Structure 1
Amino acid sequence: MRDRPARRPPRIARRNLRIACAGLAVALTVGAARTPEPGLDCPPAKEVAMELVASAENSTLDWRSQYQYIEDIGDGQGYTGGIIGFCSGTGDMLEVVTLYTRNKPANPLAAFLPALRKVNGTSSHAGLGDPFVKAWKTAATDKAFQAAQEEERDHIYFDPSVRRAKADGLRTLGQFIYFDATVMHGGGDDRNGFGSIRKNAMAKAKPPALGGDETAYLNAFLDARKAAIKRATVHGDTSRVDTEQRVFLNERNFTLQPPLRWKTYGDPYEIQSWPSPENRHAT
C-alpha cells in the first residue's frame, strides 16, 4: 500500500446500509451494458469506485483480494490493513475487529482486542506483532470478517462521503472524489482532513447546491486536495488527482461511465464496462 497521510476517522453513529437505488435494474449483457442511475451508491458505480480506490491504494483493481492485506507502512499509524486501509493507530481497525467479534465471538482476532484498545492513537505494535498479522490473514478468509470490513468502510467512509456530496449537488464523479479524499485524508476538520479541503474549495467556488458550476467547484476541490497531499505525504505524489480524477473531470464524465482509462503512480488502468457479479474487476 502507498504512503498516505495520517487519517482521523470521525465518530459516526453506526447505521444500517441503505442502497439509494433499491430496485435499480441494470442490464449487463455483452456489448450492451446500461448506465446505472446517477449515484455512487448504485451497485455498479460503487464497484467502480472501489476499483478506482484500489488502483491508488494497492496497485490493483481487485479490491477483494485486499481483505488479507496488513503491514506497517511507516506513516505513524501502526498497522494498515484491509480493503480500505484500516489502521491500528486511528481506531477504525479496532472498530472492524470489534464488529467482527460481536457478530462472531469465536474468531482468530478476538484475543487481540485488549491490545488494539491500548495501541489506539499510537504507532505501537505492543501486544500485536507477528501473531496478530498471522491472525488477520487467517480471518481474511472468513466471510464474517469480510462483511465487517465492508460495513465499517461504508459507515465511516463511503456513506458519509456520498451523503455529503449529494447534499452539495454533486453527481457520481463528485461523490467519488469526496469518497477518495475521505479514504486518504479522513473525514475530520484538521488541516489536511476532508472538512478543510472542502472548506478551502468553497472559498474558491460554490458547489451546485449553492448555485455554483459543478466543474469549477470540483476543480477547486481537486486543487485543495493536491495541496493537502503535498503537505501530508513524504512522496507528494498527486497522480490520483492529476491522472485519474482530473482526467474524468476534463472528459466531463460526471456519471463515471465506462470505459475509464487512468493512471496512478504511473501505472495504467482501464475499466471497460460496468462491473457485474460475473466480472468483478477489469484489467
Structure 2
Amino acid sequence: MNGHRGEVMRSGHRRLALVSLAAALSGCAGGAEDIEESMGALQQAATCSYSVTTNTYDGPDYWGTLVFKNTGTSAMTSPTVAFTVPSGVTCDHDEAGWKHTQSGTTCTYSRTTGLTVNAGASYTFYYSTTSSASFTAGNVQISDPSCGGGTTEPPPSSDMTANQRKVAEAITSIWENDTPTLAYAYAENIWDGRGYTNGRAGFCTGTGDAIMVVECYKNLRSASNGNLLAKYMPGLTTINNRFLSTGQNQASTAELDALGNWKSDWAASYNNTTTRADFKSCQDQVVERLYFSPSINEAKKWGLTSALSKAAFYDAYINHGSLSTFIKAANTALGNSAQTAPAVGRNGITESAFLQKFLEKRRDVLYNDSTWREAVDRVALYEKLRRQGNWDLNTAVRNDVRARDCWGTTYPASGYTVRQINPDGTWSTPSSYTYSCN
C-alpha cells in the first residue's frame, strides 16, 4: 500500500512499514494528510460502489438485515459483507451460500458459491448474533473481485516508453529487493508491523494492497483451477476490515496461518508455469492502479514531462504512499506557495528546479527519522541523474552514489548493491565503480 510505508532494514532487503493514522512521528510520510490520502486511494480501489438501504438488528428475534444496492456500473460476482457488532457480541449463523469469520467485533461473510448482484440491483443479506439487544451494524463494507481487480488489465501508463518504464521499475526494485529483477514470488514476514510483505511492490497483508492482488487472481482463476491463494480470502478480508476501520497497519498473520502456508503458496503461484501469467498480471494491475498511474498523473499535473521525473515520482509513491508532502515543499521553495498547477513554466520554475526541491524534501523526510535514515541513498540516485541530465533515461544508470556524495558526509551509507541498468532494461553487476554524484 502503501504515508503508509516507513523504511525497515534487514540484511539484503529493505521494506516500508505502514504508519498508523494516529501516529505523530517526525517525518512520517508527511503526516496525517498523506496517510489519509493513501488510505483513501486503497479504499477507492478495493471497495465497491454501493449504498446500504436497510441496516437493522432485531434483538428479540436475534435477526439482522442488511440491504445493499450495487450503484456501480458492473455486476458484483462474489460479494463479501463485513461489519462491526457491539463488544461481546458473537455472529453465530450462516445463511446458505455464506460462511463467516469473526475477529474482535468485526464479522466478515464470504461467499461459498457465486452470487451475482447486477448494476442497479439490490441484495438482502441476513445474519444472526448472540445479542438480545437491538443495534445497528457499524462500518458496513461491501467488497467484490470486480471492484478490486478484474479480468481486464488496465492499459499501462502511456507517458513513458516501454524501455523507460523498465528502467524506472528496475531502479525501484533495487531498493525493494536488492536486484533490478522484479520479485513476483517474494513473500516474507519481515516483522515491520504489516503482516506478510509480498511480490514486486511489497504488497502487504496488513495494508490493503495484498488483498487486491488476491481478489484479482481469484477472479481470474478458481481454487479448483489451481489458485492456491483463494482460500486465504476470508482471513485477508478480516485483516483488511480492521485496517480500513482503524486506519492502522495490521501485523497479525494468524488469520492466514490458520488456513495454510501463505509464503509457500504465494511463491508457488508465480513459480508454477501454469498459474504464473495470471498471478503476474494481477500484481502488475495493482501496481498500475495504485502506484504507477497516480505517479504519472501527478507529474503531468505539475508540468513535469521527463522520464526521470516520472521515475522519481513512482519510486516516492512506492516508498511513501503519497507525494503530497514533497510536492508542497517543492512548490513552496520555488515561490508557488499557492500550489497552483502546473508549476513548471510558472514564474520561471524549471523542471530541474522542481525535481531538485522535491528530492531534497524527500531526503529530509527519510533522514530525519531513525527508522528510515539508511534508505536516504535511494533519493541520491535521482539527484545524480538530474545533475547528469539523463532526463530520458537513455544512457546506462548506475546506483553508484550515496546521499553523502550529493549532500555531505553527515548522511549514512546504506550499502545497496551497485547495479547497472541499461536503456533497454537489461542489467548487470559492475566489477568496479567509484561513488560520485556527478
Provide closer, same or farther for how the CA distance between residues 123 and 20 of structure 1 changes in structure 2, counting only shifts above 3 A. closer
Percent identity reads 27
Q: Return the letter of the residue paired with 2:162.
A: P
Q: Is the 8 A contact 2:295 2:310 kept in 1?
A: yes
Take 2:286 and 2:264, find their aligned partners in 1: how far apart are those partners? 21
Match of 2:266 in 1: 136
Question: How far, CA to CA, are the matches of 1:175 and 1:137 in structure 2?
Answer: 30
Aligned-pair CA distance for 1:119? 1.8
Q: Deviations over 1:74-102 (max 9, x none)?
A: 22111111001101111000000001001
- Structure 1 residue 112: deviation in Å? 0.3
C-alpha contact (below 8 Å) 2:157/2:296 kept by paired residues: no
Give the distance between the partners of 2:187 and 2:252, measured in 1 at CA: 15
1:72 is matched with: 189
Other-structure match for 1:97: 214
Letter in structure 2 aligned against 1:2: R
- Residue equivalent to 2:251: 123
* Equivalent residue, structure 2, for 1:229: 366
Q: Which of 41, 44, 65 lines up with 2:163 in the alignment?
A: 44
The CA RMSD over aligned residues, in Å, is: 2.2
Q: Which residue of 1 aligns with 2:314?
A: 179
Structure with greater proportional helix content: 1
**Is residue 2–residue 57 contact of structure 1 (8 Å, CA) maintained in 2?**
yes
Between 1:46-55 and 1:253-262, the stretch displaced more is: 253-262
The alignment covers a number of residue pairs equal to: 252
Is residue 2:409 matched to residue 1:257? no
Preserved contact between residue 84 and residue 153 of structure 1 (Cα < 8 Å): yes
Q: CA deviation at 1:19?
A: 4.4
How many Å apart are 1:233 and its aligned residue?
5.6
Q: Deviations over 1:108-161 (max 9, x none)?
A: 000001111122321111222361111111112221111100110111000110
Unaligned runs of 5+ in 1: 22-38, 188-193
Instruction: Report 1:1-283 matches (<5 A).
Output: 1-6=13-18, 8=38, 10-11=41-42, 12-13=44-45, 17-19=154-156, 21=158, 39-40=159-160, 42-63=161-182, 66-106=183-223, 107-120=227-240, 121=243, 122-129=250-257, 131-141=261-271, 142-170=276-304, 171-187=306-322, 194-205=323-334, 207-208=343-344, 210-211=346-347, 212-231=349-368, 234-237=371-374, 238-242=376-380, 244-263=381-400, 265-266=414-415, 267-275=417-425, 280-283=426-429
Give yes or no for contact 1:71–1:79 (8 Å, CA) kept in 2: yes
AA of the residue aligned to 2:218: T
Rounded to whole Å, the distance in 2 between the matches of 1:231 and 1:58 is: 23
Q: If the length of structure 1 is used for normalisation, what is the TM-score?
A: 0.82
Taking a change above 3 Å as real, the CA distance of residues 169 and 96 of structure 1, as seen in their structure-2 partners, is: same
Distance of 2:215 and 2:366 partners within structure 1:
31
Quote the offset at 1:45 in angstroms: 0.7
Counterpart residue type for residue 377 of structure 2? S
Distance 1:78 1:135 in 2: 15
Whole-angstrom CA distance in 1 between matches of 2:213 and 2:303? 31
Q: The residue matched to 2:418 in structure 1 has which SS?
A: strand
The unaligned stretches of length 5 or more in structure 2 are 1-12, 20-37, 46-148, 244-249, 337-342, 403-413, 430-438
